[in-house]
Amino acid sequence: MSTNAYADWGAEAYDAFYPGADLTNYVGHAVWLVGVNLEPLSTTDQATTQTIYGEGVLLEGAPVDPGAQCRVVQAGRVRAIAGTGGVSAGDTVAPEYSATAANRGRFITRDTADFTDGDFEWGTAITAAAAGGEFLLELRRRKVQLP
């Protein structure tokens, strides 16, 4: 069990990965593998970012040091960080694209109209948070299938 402020709240699954960047300040952000290294999930633009399944939400970050590992929650309830505009309880969320490094992989509200067929939604906000704030996320990534 994690001893940091983002301790796992009933997460169903987690795994360990090697950081490809200093991830000590990215706990609660969506992450993905770039090659074999873990990085905050944000690429090209919002539309492209939503097409990536990713690895999950960072539970424990680590600097880039030989042997350093990060823990990633892949399903269940986890604390996450809200992106631009914040989130409200009940919102469907996805990782946010950001050109600003510190904001990469934060979560934003996405309506059905924001998704195209094949995008990924990451779950539902259980609590509300302003941008940069912490909220409880029911993490259940699923591929969007539109008629």
Q: What is the pTM of this model?
A: 0.88
Q: Write the pLDDT tens digit of every residue in 79-105.
A: 999 999 999 999 999 999 999 999 999
pLDDT of residue 28: 96
CA 139 to CA 129: how far, in whole Å?
16
pLDDT above 60 for 3 = no
| DSSP calls for 53-113 | --SEEEEE---S-TT--EEEEEEEEEEEEB-TT-B-TT-EEEEPP-SSGGGTT-EEE--GG
In a domain, 134, yes or no: yes
Q: Which helix (H) or strand (E) holds 30?
A: strand 30-34
pLDDT of residue 36: 84
In a domain, 122, yes or no: yes
The tally of domains found in the chain comes to 1
CA 31 to CA 43: how far, in whole Å?
11
CA 117 to CA 100: how far, in whole Å?
27
pLDDT of residue 37: 86
In a domain, 86, yes or no: yes
Name the average pLDDT for the chain: 89
In a domain, 65, yes or no: yes
Range of the domain at 112: 13-142
pLDDT above 50 for 6 = no
Name, in order, each residue with C-beta under 8 angstroms of 125's C-beta and a sequence gap of 6 or more.
82, 87, 88, 89, 90, 91, 93, 107, 109, 135, 136, 137, 138
In a domain, 6, yes or no: no
pLDDT above 90 for 1 = no
pLDDT of residue 20: 86
Q: Which helix (H) or strand (E) holds 48?
A: helix 46-49
Average pLDDT score over residue span 8-23: 70
In a domain, 3, yes or no: no
> CATH number, domain at 95?
2.40.300
pLDDT of residue 57: 95
pLDDT above 80 for 11 = no
pLDDT above 80 for 59 = yes
The answer to whether 95 touches 49, Cβ cutoff 8 Å, is yes
